[in-house]
Structure 1
Amino acid sequence: MPLKLYQFAISHYSEKVRWALDFKGIGYEPEYLLPGMHGKVIRGLTGGKATSVPVLVDSGKAIQGSVEILDHLDSAFADNALLPEAPDERASALAWEKRLDEEAGPAVRTFAYHHLLQRPKVVAPLLTAKTAFWNQYLLRLGFSRVDETMRELMNINEKTAARAQTVIESLLEEINAVYQEGRYLAGPGFSRADMTAGALFAPLFMPSQYPVPWPRPGRLPPGLREWHQQKGSLLEPVANCYRKHR
């Protein structure tokens, strides 16, 4: 019975799991859900109240959350381990992953959506990617409500976006200092720490491997376009690691 990954195409935490599955050479069936309409499906799988994605189903067992899924993959599929063997390097990889999940993930989401939600024609295809084609049109018709709901649920506004930008730049500078020395985040080899960094920052450098129709640079909202012009070079070491291992 093949594994199934329930996800949003746009989700950078889902990208982390997609990457882990591909890196380990594990076949799976992708199940793309529409954000906001996914709750019933996820609760049906997990039997709980949380509706977060990704959720991986393996032999009838549902595993929710990118950390838990990566733990399961390394336990169930030994090839291409996601963690180093040395105890100190393993601890470092897990510490980096935790920090990036808690800091980079929310910051990228807040910063990117604050700007993208200002352009309905740009963000609608990203939110509805890989779902039924009519979802894009329905979302655009009700976009004012979508914008309001997303901003409220994720606390997205001018102030939180500015704070998120500061977090993003600080983390990238710290990560780049490691990469520029020719090392990886948790030792001499690639690990789930680097995978987490690449996946969570991916919406900012918009790689072709990501299953969404990224907008052309000229169609980016002004705030994002200006940030790329001024600070885009900060993304290069992380983007290079992504391209090398993805």
Structure 2
Amino acid sequence: MRPVLYQFPISHYCEKIRWALDYKGIQYSRVSLIPGLHMKSIRRIAPSTSVPVLRDKGQVIQGSSAIIDYLDKHYPEHSLTPEDPALRQQAQEWERRLDRLGEDIRLWCYHYLLVEPELAIPLLTSGQPFYRRWQVRLAYPKVEKGMRYWMKINSETAAAAQQRMEAMLAELRTAYLQSHLLVGDHFSRADLTACALFAMVFQPAEMPVPWPARERLPKAMKAWIDQHEDELQPLQVHYAQYR
């Protein structure tokens, strides 16, 4: 039986695991859920309500880092974790820091996208039957309010998140100027995490969501992305090469 991934198509943490599964050549099935409406489904199978969740061989693994640990143990071909202990520690440290930043990236993107229902609703309901879009549209004021409350999204938190994003992008750019890869000589969970989590910003076509055209993005969001194109480029290049 194939592994089953419970996911949000829009989630960059879920993109991290889709990429890991594809990179390893693992055939799997997806169960796409809607943020907020997913809780009942996930509570049936996992300790908390977060995604991604992977079901495989009678096991339930929750969280992107834990899933990669599981995949490298049970599907060791094309390992994403270096064998050398020092390199492994470096890769896991990059991943830990980037995973934490992923919350900032998500907060920052939603801060701008949620004010544009015509942009946000197709992203939130990607992979769902058409009537789900209308249900979310009818409930959208509550959806937006709930997401802003749950993720503590406001102008102040978005500004702070942006500062941390800029600091990490500068650090990543410096690292990629020194070496093609973040750790050692092989593509690892460090590079995968960096590219997958910033994918919500540079919006690759390979992600299974209907990204709006760049010119349709909120002005402040578009201006920031345009301003940081140079810092985002190494991530886009690695995404195109390894995804």
- Provide TM-score, normalisation by structure 2: 0.98
Deviations 1:13-50 (A, max 9, x none): 0000000000001000011011111111111112x2x1
Q: Does 1:153 align with 2:187?
A: no
**C-alpha deviation, 1:206, in angstroms:** 0.5
Partner of 1:197: 194
Give the partner amino acid of 1:28: Y
Q: Say if 1:116 and 1:122, in contact at 8 Å, map to a contact too.
A: yes
SS in 1 for 2:61: strand
Does 149-158 or 226-235 show the bigger shift? Answer: 226-235
Give the partner amino acid of 2:60: A
- Give the gaps of 5 or more residues in structure 2: none
Partner of 2:57: 59
Partner of 1:24: 24
> How far apart, in 2, do the equivalents of 1:5 and 1:95 lie?
25
> How far apart, in 2, do the equivalents of 1:137 and 1:233 lie?
38
> How far apart, in 1, do the equivalents of 2:79 and 2:227 lie?
37
Q: Does 1:116 align with 2:113?
A: yes
> How far apart, in 1, do the equivalents of 2:8 and 2:25 lie?
21
> How far apart, in 2, do the equivalents of 1:206 and 1:53 lie?
20
Q: Does 1:78 align with 2:70?
A: no
Aligned ranges for residues 29-44 of structure 1 at < 5 Å? Answer: 29-44=29-44
Deviations 1:207-232 (A, max 9, x none): 01100000001110111111122223
**C-alpha deviation, 1:203, in angstroms:** 0.6
> How far apart, in 2, do the equivalents of 1:180 and 1:135 lie?
45
Partner of 2:87: 89
- Give the gaps of 5 or more residues in structure 1: none
Q: Say if 1:121 and 1:140, in contact at 8 Å, map to a contact too.
A: no
CA-based RMSD: 0.9
Give the partner amino acid of 2:72: D
Deviations 1:91-122 (A, max 9, x none): 100011011101x2011101100000110000
Q: How many residues align?
A: 243
**C-alpha deviation, 1:60, in angstroms:** 2.2
SS in 2 for 1:6: strand
